[in-house]
Amino acid sequence: MKDRIVFTGGGSAGHVSVNLALIPHFLREGWEVHYIGSHTGIEKDLIARLPEVHYHPISTGKLRRYRSMENVKDPFRTLKGIGQAYHLIRRIKPAVIFSKGGFVSVPVVIAGRLKGVPVVIHESDLTPGLANRISIPFANRVCTTFPETLEQLPAAKSRCVGAIVRPELLKGRIERGYRFSGLEPGLPVLLIMGGSLGAKKINDAVRGALTPLLSGFQIVHLTGKGQVDHSLHRYGYVQFEYVNEELPDLLAMADLVVSRAGSNSIFEFLALRKPMVLIPLPKGASRGDQILNAQSFEKSGYASVLPEEDLTPEALQARVESVWNERDTYRANMESYHADSALDQVRELIMEAAHK
């Protein structure tokens, strides 16, 4: 009989990417892999590309940080999700559950604890997110990316493993990036991405600064769903809502990146030695984790931070040019960072939890 594992996590691509890095290993080792996610989240679309994985949608709340009538309904949705996850776990009988966080993971982690299934959690950001803060008391092991995060966690079950970078991101090919994007070798390539859902303010600033930016760069702009401007046609400028398999090739082609400051993404850029302009989500739109991530990278000399409240077309152009002029310094600083065997460490912790 095959060993079985349940993965969970969703709401954004960052809450799925680590799972996508781990799942192929367990499939190769002959495990039966299940994924519990939401009915409509991005995790459903991403996991659908892995036909060997059994996907199970459940009800979930959204853990909002703002006032909304939906907050009244969400506890009931979460309770319903716990019941659904409990019945799924009872039927699947997994040896272990791995949670990457996001609001959909909370019912799964709680249900796993109720069924006595060991749970391993991974926290990418410098401070634990709300979903993981709720889930950590129910977990057997907690893995972190930043060593500072350990100060906020129970020492007996926590370990800093470093950043998990998807191996396929390191295998991008420049020529495939040019072929997919339709750009040509010549001017340096600026890759702009506002997260899996896009970022309207970043998109507006890019389009406002397009003429001066195109004088020095070719631009690949990942706009987010529904945010492509189909009326905008400029030589050297291409737009995509979202990319998946093509991202390694676009990153290989890119000379500089403008991005939000989600932990998974910025560590991927670091591993690839890509100088960065980071525009973290402001506190009003998040709990401030991206601000802390960005500040940590700026302090280490890996990136330059442009707060969203200061973002204008002129400010974006000036910051891109500044980082480009200092690109050799940023790359030299990045050479001091060496990604360790984070993926192997997490796999070992999962296997240890499963076979105890």
Domain chopping of the chain, boundaries: 4-165+340-355, 170-334
Contact 274, 25 (CB under 8 A): no
Three-point CA angle 37, 42, 47, nearest 5°: 65
Q: What is the pLDDT at residue 168?
A: 86
What DSSP string describes 307-325? -GGG--HHHHHHHHHHHHH
Work out the average pLDDT over 61-88. 75
Helix, strand and coil percent figures for the chain, each rounded to 5: 45, 15, 35
CATH number for domain 4-165+340-355, candidates 3.40.50.2000, 3.90.1200.10, 3.40.50.720, 3.20.20.210: 3.40.50.2000
Residue among 156, 190, 197, 214 nearest 277 (CA) = 190
Please answer whether residues 230 and 251 qualify as being in contact, where contact means their C-beta atoms are separated by less than 8 angstroms: no
Predicted confidence (pLDDT) per residue in 272-324, tens digit: 999 999 999 888 666 778 999 999 999 999 999 999 999 999 999 999 999 99
Fold of 170-334: Rossmann fold (3.40.50)
Domains 4-165+340-355 and 170-334 in one fold: yes
88-97, 221-230, 282-291: the lowest-pLDDT one: 282-291
Q: What is the DSSP letter of 149?
A: G
DSSP at 102: S
DSSP-derived pairing of the beta strands 276-278 and 189-193: unpaired
Continuous segment of H or E residues that includes residue 304: strand 303-305
Please give the average per-residue pLDDT across 126-130, as a whole number.
Answer: 87
CA 83/CA 77 separation, integer angstroms: 10
Tokens of residue 59, six digits: 């009800």
Asked if 253 contacts 189 with a C-beta cutoff of 8 angstroms, the reply is yes
